[in-house]
Structure 1
Amino acid sequence: MSKEDRNSTSISAGESHSQSHFRYSTVLGYFQQSAPSQDANGKDSTIDHVQSNFGLIDRSYDTDAEFDPTRSKSQWERFQHWVRTLNARQSQSDSRIIYKVLFLGRHGQGEHNVAEAYYGTDAWDCYWSLREGNESSTWADARLTETGRAQARATHEAWRTEIDRGMLLPESFYVSPLNRCLETAWITFHGLVGDAFSPVVMENLRETIGIHTCDRRSNRSAIQSEYPSYRIEDGFAEDDPLWDPELRESDSARDVRLKSALDAIFSHDAAEFVSVTAHSGAITSILSVVGHRPFRLATGAVLPVFVRAEVVPGPEPPRNIDPPTRVPECKGDPLKAGDGKIMARVTEIPN
């Protein structure tokens, strides 16, 4: 696919989202992670993307006889040809259906993950997440830990292994503006796509917004200075316009925001294989939007999802959006959380 094709728009020129909208679904039967869960809650993280070809199922496709008559092609090569064939057929029939494979990568372990595990979720949500950090760690716009960097390097090697098996790298890359994702994407893909790794930094891919300082992004200038090859989307403000120190975004509001991010990708990027480096909450919302079963993704892991998008006439159906929530009341003394130790000092919230 040419660069011009990848940058083409999927919705006809002059057609706005008030006249049509995307309806998403997950195409089953291609990745193990999309299969119905054996767990009663529909959640598991037992499929190791590093050890299982990213979960790609060993199967045949209708195009195998023509594309691979000698049976010499790899599973990835045959699958990628099948996806391209599906889209080519839709294009030839003037269909309004688009297929993409999304590689949803969660950032590696961050300083905030360690802090929440140490203090416990109750103390974290009511007190510690409001702070910039403690005496030993800073988690505002949280950075990766050394463990998180090692997780990203493991995923880098997993990609390299799959490339050796015939897998193509994604044609487009998108990343949340929070630092833990910016660094995860860099460690994961730099060197695989050459020295000019330049993902698109997209505001709407960020984690649940509000209250937690780990989810308040740095300003645009700082992001561009640290990652000069990254392309920041148009309209990206210098300072964080979304984070609120008193209100936290509801899950249903986050779903709407992540659908908007998907809509932008499907509308303006014709790439058929797309990488998205984001967060647990953001990926949870993407899975909800595309009708995928819940899947608990470990830090540093990757979840591929085969998505079908249909352009449906008419405006987006109305959604019930829950209001934001405020800081919960502490159930105990948060200063005594964490193995019973009292932390002597915290870095206070800036004015």
Structure 2
Amino acid sequence: MGRIPSRAGPILAGLSFLLAVISTVVDAAPGISTAARLLPVRFTAVDGFFEQSSVATNPRGYPAVPFALGLADKTDGRWNRAFAKLNALKKRVGKKGVVKMIFFQRHGQGTHNVAVDTYGIKAWDEYYSKLPLYLDAPLTPLGTAQLANATAIIASEIQSQLLPVPSLIASSPLSRALNTTQLVWGTITHGQYHPRVYEDLRETYGPYICDQRHNRTELALTYPDFTFSDLVNDADTLWNGVKPESDAHIEARVRSVLGAIMTTPASSTGNFTGPKVSDDLIGIVAHSGTIQFVTKIAGHRSWSVQPGGLLPMVIVGYYN
């Protein structure tokens, strides 16, 4: 190809912008929900805000939900300073991308987790994982207790240190995640919230019946405050009970849904009358596998989130 004259630059820049918009829709893998708007194409986790992102922090023995949620600054007024630092980052990024602080929370212990620990992974794979008993595995009493601890720590930061409440709360459609969202953010907001449910936040779909969700109609009756419009089909048409989802597809859908969540204008807590609500903060309740892929996509250090645990990140989503 010959050299392109310099006057073609503005035209090519316009085409690149248009292609970025188109690619967010055209290149999505099957089952991935995308909106017809400009979405980030690459993500970067920003160090310096939370201990979990620092290589100096030993994950072994680190609390599932630590004091100050792991914020590096432990002194009074810490969240005001953290969000001032976030605003400075937003100014530097400008129109090149979107910047969000995101609290990724893993659901509390589920009945499937207990089964694996009790019977072993081999027996789980070959027998127990197929039993209807574990369909859309719910939380255990221990899982509920784990979430009570998490809720108390988050609520303490809100009450004593003026941590804002996320303007958007997003959840996986699996029951253990929905219940976690309800027990944590429903308690904190006193039920004044409307979490959005995203199909692509779910755990890997494949042979395990614990990862098959209930019908949307059933879920909506159980969780009437949640918005299920992202679940296109009433039945779970993604779970097949045989073939596991490929890593490439998981990464593609997690990348897509992360961009969609970071750029959504909708609010989960718009009518909340309690503490301050921040549009710069998002709460996401999902699964260990989903969160692991977020760390991979954003270049965050690998971090295993315990049941009911929290991994806070500051992420920049760049448009090109």
1:230 equivalent to 2:233? Answer no
Q: Contact 2:195/2:226 (CA < 8 Å) preserved in 1?
A: yes
Q: Contact 1:45/1:295 (CA < 8 Å) preserved in 2?
A: no
Q: Contact 1:172/1:274 (CA < 8 Å) preserved in 2?
A: yes
Give the drift of 1:158. Answer: 0.9
Q: Contact 1:109/1:145 (CA < 8 Å) preserved in 2?
A: yes
Give the drift of 1:235. Answer: 5.0
**C-alpha distance in 1 between matches for 2:76 and 2:68:** 15
**C-alpha distance in 2 between matches for 1:37 and 1:236:** 43
- Number of the residue aligned with 1:68: none
Give the drift of 1:82. Answer: 2.0
Q: Contact 2:104/2:312 (CA < 8 Å) preserved in 1?
A: yes
1:139 equivalent to 2:147? Answer no
Deviations along 1:174-193, whole A, 9 cap, x unmatched?
A: 00000000001100011322
Distance 1:123 1:155, change over 3 A: same
Q: Specify the code of the residue in structure 2 equivalent to 1:74.
A: G
TM-score by length of 2: 0.81
**C-alpha distance in 2 between matches for 1:38 and 1:125:** 34
- Number of the residue aligned with 2:318: 310
- Number of the residue aligned with 1:272: 280
Matches within 5 A, 1:45-84: 45-48=60-63, 50-58=65-73, 74-84=77-87
Aligned match for 2:291, one of 283, 287, 290: 283
**C-alpha distance in 1 between matches for 2:202 and 2:230:** 16
**C-alpha distance in 1 between matches for 2:147 and 2:109:** 9
**C-alpha distance in 2 between matches for 1:233 and 1:194:** 23
> What is the CA RMSD across the aligned residues, in angstroms?
2.2
Report SS of the residue matched to 1:260: helix
Q: Which runs of 5+ in 1 are unaligned?
A: 1-11, 60-71, 133-137, 313-351
**C-alpha distance in 2 between matches for 1:267 and 1:119:** 42
Deviations along 1:147-180, whole A, 9 cap, x unmatched?
A: 0011111111111111121211111100000000
Report SS of the residue matched to 1:154: helix
**C-alpha distance in 2 between matches for 1:295 and 1:128:** 28
- Number of the residue aligned with 2:213: 217
- Number of the residue aligned with 2:275: none
Q: Which runs of 5+ in 2 are unaligned?
A: 1-16, 25-37, 267-278
| Greater displacement, 18-27 / 102-111 | 18-27
Deviations along 1:18-55, whole A, 9 cap, x unmatched?
A: 2875211111111111112676xxxx353225442111
Report SS of the residue matched to 2:291: helix
Q: Contact 2:100/2:280 (CA < 8 Å) preserved in 1?
A: yes
Report SS of the residue matched to 1:231: coil
1:34 equivalent to 2:29? Answer no
- Number of the residue aligned with 1:333: none
Q: Specify the code of the residue in structure 1 equivalent to 2:203.
A: E
Report SS of the residue matched to 2:125: helix
Aligned match for 2:174, one of 173, 178, 199: 178
Q: Contact 1:45/1:296 (CA < 8 Å) preserved in 2?
A: no
**Number of paired residues?**
277
Give the drift of 1:86. Answer: 2.7
Q: Contact 1:49/1:55 (CA < 8 Å) preserved in 2?
A: no
Give the drift of 1:90. Answer: 4.0
Q: Contact 2:171/2:285 (CA < 8 Å) preserved in 1?
A: yes
- Number of the residue aligned with 2:12: none
Aligned match for 1:244, one of 240, 243, 259: 240
- Number of the residue aligned with 1:18: 23
**C-alpha distance in 2 between matches for 1:181 and 1:28:** 27
